[in-house]
Chains A and B, each alone.
Chain A
Amino acid sequence: MSDKAVAAKDAPLLIAGREYSSRLLVGTGKYRDFDETRLAIEASGAEIVTVAIRRVNIGQDPSQPNLLEILPPSRFTILPNTAGCYSAKEAVRTLRLARELLDGHALVKLEVLADETTLFPNMPETLIAAKELVADGFQVMVYCADDPIQAKALEDIGCVAVMPLASLIGSGMGILNPWNLEIILDRVTVPVLVDAGIGTASDATVAMELGCDGVLMNTAIAKARNPVLMASAMKKAVESGREAFLAGRMPKKIYQASASSPREGRIGS
Chain B
Amino acid sequence: MLNIKVNGQPATLPPGALVVALVATMQLEGKRYAIERNGEIVPKSAVDSTPVEDGDQYEVVIAVGGG
| Choice from A30, A55, A169, A216 contacting B61 with Cβ under 8 Å | A55
| Choice from B7, B28, B32 contacting A55 with Cβ under 8 Å | B7
Chain A proximity mask over B13-50: 1 for CB below 8 Å, otherwise 0? 00000000000001110011111100101011000000
The answer to whether B65 and A31 touch across the interface, beta carbons within 8 angstroms, is yes
B contact residues around A57 at 8 Å (CB): 7
Give A28 to B66 CA distance when docked, in angstroms. Answer: 5
Is A98 at the interface (CB under 8 A from chain B)? yes
B contact residues around A93 at 8 Å (CB): 36, 39
By secondary structure, the A interface counts as mixed
What is the chain A residue whose CB lies nearest that of B8?
A55
Give A54 to B64 CA distance when docked, in angstroms. Answer: 7
The answer to whether A78 and B41 touch across the interface, beta carbons within 8 angstroms, is no
Residue count of chain A within 8 Å CB distance of chain B: 37
Is B4 at the interface (CB under 8 A from chain A)? no
Is A219 at the interface (CB under 8 A from chain B)? yes
The answer to whether A51 and B63 touch across the interface, beta carbons within 8 angstroms, is yes
Among B34, B36, B44, B59, residue most surrounded by chain A Cβ atoms (within 10 Å): B34
A contact residues around B65 at 8 Å (CB): 27-31, 37, 51-52, 67
Among A66, A98, A102, A218, residue most surrounded by chain B Cβ atoms (within 10 Å): A66
19 extra interchain contacts, Cβ-Cβ under 8 A, other than A51-B63, A62-B27? A27-B66, A28-B66, A29-B66, A30-B65, A50-B66, A51-B64, A52-B63, A52-B67, A55-B8, A55-B59, A56-B28, A58-B7, A58-B9, A66-B63, A67-B63, A93-B36, A98-B34, A100-B41, A218-B67
- 23 sampled A-B residue pairs with Cβ under 8 A: A27-B66, A27-B67, A29-B64, A29-B67, A51-B64, A52-B63, A52-B65, A53-B61, A53-B64, A55-B61, A56-B33, A56-B60, A57-B7, A58-B6, A58-B26, A62-B26, A66-B32, A78-B63, A93-B36, A97-B34, A101-B62, A170-B67, A218-B67
